[in-house]
Amino acid sequence: TLLLSSLCTACKATEAAVRKAGIAQLYGIAGDTNSTGDEQKKLDVLANELFVNLLKSSYQTCAMVSEENEKMIEVPVAKHGRYIVCFDPLDGSSNIDCLVSIGSIFGIYKRESDGPVSTEDCLLPGNKLVAAGYCVFGTACMMVLSTGNGVNGFTLDPSIGEFILTASNMTIPSKGKIYSTNEGNAQYLDEKLQKYLYDCKFPKAGKPKAARYVGSMVADVHRTICYGGVFMYPANSTAANGKLRLLYECNPMSYIVEQAGGKAVTGRGQERVLDVVPTKLHERCPIFLGSSEDIDVILSYLNE
């Protein structure tokens, strides 16, 4: 409870910074790159500091993994807890300056070993998560959270500064009418996936699927959970493992989608994203997630 409370506070503080970013001149590039080579925005840096400091002071964590830090963040022994938190403090950085929905993503693991904390302690598959969530900063601020017993959505009430339960037991429709991917990369995709995308637009029967792509994983996945359909960032000829990071993007989102009744796979046979064992902190992973029937259709194309 203390750990989740600290995460809620970090999300509230980040949301407040996002809302006043234009006035406080927090837009623009901070002048550095993060662990995966992306340009850091000023809000990226601020959000990361908020998450790190609040989680350290919760006395519930022993280590953290952040998109913005190349190495594991070790918590001082005096403030040690039993949990490891992996997070992307501000997902969708490319959309910050144009006011498109962005958000924060986190996954919580319970440490399995004793002794000094090491990087290996953080390299756990998603099926070991004890909780995961994301907070979307859009027309409203909503935190979507799962502790392994379904998915619930909490909307921030700015008048009292608290998250209020507004969407209990969220479930994803078994089939949707939307597909979400960056089709600008279509020429680099596997021919089987190109055929799937073609059939989405030019079906042999019925109406074509609608294409929706924001470019913020939080926004795209949240829409997918609400309306159904599929979100994907697959491997391609220029990125053998896709673009999204396993520990703090793919795993938490896959955990939430599965808890909501959907599926999340890598496209390599029937492999679940949550079964992938990471070998490094910022490992990338291809991902297809969404409505169970839509994911089955994609797998039928990929496994032909």
Q: Please, are residues 163 and 136 in contact by the beta-carbon 8 Å criterion?
A: no
Q: Is 44 labeled as catalytic in the residue annotation?
A: yes
Q: Is 88 labeled as catalytic in the residue annotation?
A: yes
Q: Is 46 labeled as catalytic in the residue annotation?
A: no
Residue 118: strand, helix, or coil? coil
Active-site option among 15, 121, 220, 249: 249
- H helix or E strand, kind and range, residue 5: helix 2-19
Helices 217-227 and 251-259 pack at an angle, to 10 degrees, of 10
CA distance 113 to 9: 28
Active-site option among 7, 90, 129, 145: 90
Tokens of 6: 């600290």
CA distance 226 to 269: 27
- H helix or E strand, kind and range, residue 241: none
Active-site option among 44, 220, 258, 294: 44
Q: Is 91 labeled as catalytic in the residue annotation?
A: yes
- Listed residue (157, 130, 125) closest to 250, CA to CA: 125
- Listed residue (8, 249, 289, 19) closest to 143, CA to CA: 8
Burial call 245-264: b when 16+ CB within 10 Å, e when fewer: bbbbbbbbbbbbbbbbbbbb
CA atoms within 13 A on the CB side of 145: 19
Q: What is the CA radius of gyration of the chain?
A: 19
Tokens of 194: 């190109």
Q: Is 68 labeled as catalytic in the residue annotation?
A: yes
Active-site option among 15, 91, 121, 294: 91
Active-site option among 15, 88, 121, 258: 88
**Dihedral angle over CA of 69, 75, 80, 83, nearest 10:** 0
- Listed residue (261, 274, 268, 275) closest to 299, CA to CA: 268
- H helix or E strand, kind and range, residue 10: helix 2-19
Catalytic residues: 38, 44, 67-68, 88, 90-91, 249
